[in-house]
A and B are shown apart, each in its own frame.
Chain A
């Protein structure tokens, strides 16, 4: 069925910003489907972090990283899988109202899985290159589209602070016009909900669970410090593949 492609690997690789050419490389990307059901439904499991929980200190505490990864992300994955199973069943039965009813759970939990999978890749311990400013084509693009790296950081921090409730702030590449943009999304909406041409380069989780235990209500401090562990290499990699 054509609809099964929604859960398929190809759409996911596009959603994760690898582009059609990156599908093969992306097949080993953690977070892509690994479980296989009898009918071929792809389900998901928690990707490993590429660093220890405490490796991002003092920018982000080990306690937060462990909870964020083992509890929050895992819950999104568990509920996403549940929703997908229910969706498959509803589709097989032709139960349209159930299919439509499940969309919000899929968007929320699936979005949570997508967003957090990108987020873990966006972060890197300081002693492994985290926080090192971008060089090469992404660096030039930032200077062109924002004036300077400081201006970009300032914009993203302002947007992140102003966001009401829960959500994400993104550095996005509009792959059609080849321009960088700062975007925000609410709750767990993935970046594509703001535009089908938008590719996420960096995302910052501004849900309270991402910082509360350490920074309490002072979201601006969290945003200031997270840049010290930002993995610009990942963002550059995604950018270069897109504009190549």
Chain B
């Protein structure tokens, strides 16, 4: 069931060329410590002695922490990634020590702990870990400008124009009450792109939709750089930070799961 969103290859330091030319896909560190293989005569002992835990690691953003200056300061990245994101990972691992959840990828863990709308205690941490990974990769130095190729075509098809999409995205972010996220998603049922807004940790994966871009609207994401001026933060994200390269790769993968109906979409 479901799909595994593998992160694109930015591990060698981001190069401003289409990432699919790299060809590599880095698998996110997930799942648990493998069971120790039982040695002769120790079969029963090892089963009693071993405790298998799920354990997740923190991934680093695909750029140095000052790469997004002056639009998102190094200080913000240091706190947002180094403290908030890391706290979510640490808290999740602490919860998993006492939990029977094991053997899931992060995406599966989110869906399982979402529990169809009655989230288990691990949901908040798991979802926020994934959301933040996705968020770092949704941005790049020298970002913004316009999407290209297939992504632009799909946006124009589903929103009538890029500027319509941009307005919808900005309005949705401004209308968010409290903490949450704004997403460009590919809806798997309707087979079209859409802007959605979620509260707190909720992420469109739980509805089976495919996220393409995310913007963190929790206050910690922008308060140091923009104080209460959310509009400036959102516009700066759209004009200078959003990574259409990442969006392209994600659309490419999404097309393997959603038939967008036209056989020749030139992506990238």
- Residues of A participating in the B interface, judged by any CB pair closer than 8 Å: 67, 71-72, 75, 104, 108, 164-167, 186-188, 207-209, 212-213, 216-217
Contacts and interface: CB of A to CB of B under 8 A. Distances in A.
A10 B176 CA distance: 31
Pick from A164, A186, A207 the residue with the most CB of B within 10 Å.
A164
Given A165-B199, A166-B219, 12 more contacts: A72-B228, A186-B178, A187-B177, A187-B178, A207-B219, A208-B218, A208-B220, A209-B223, A212-B220, A213-B224, A213-B227, A216-B79
Interface in B185-237: 199-201, 218-220, 223-224, 227-228
B166 interface: no
Interface residues of B, number: 19
Contacts of B79: 216-217
Contact of B179 (A71, A166, A213): A166
Contacts of A166: 178-179, 219
Nearest to B86: A217
B265 to A, nearest CB: 37
B83 A104 contact: no
A164 B219 CA distance: 13
Contact of A164 (B124, B223, B227, B228): B124
B253 interface: no
B227 A71 contact: yes
Nearest to B218: A208
A164 B200 CA distance: 7
B224 A209 contact: no
Interface in B49-87: 79, 83-84, 87
Contacts of A187: 177-178
A241 B201 CA distance: 41
Contact of B177 (A67, A75, A108, A216): A108
Contact of B219 (A75, A108, A208): A208
A217 B179 contact: no
A157 to B, nearest CB: 17
20 contacts: A67-B228, A71-B227, A104-B177, A164-B124, A164-B200, A165-B180, A165-B199, A165-B200, A165-B201, A166-B178, A186-B178, A187-B178, A208-B179, A209-B219, A212-B220, A212-B223, A212-B224, A213-B223, A216-B83, A217-B84
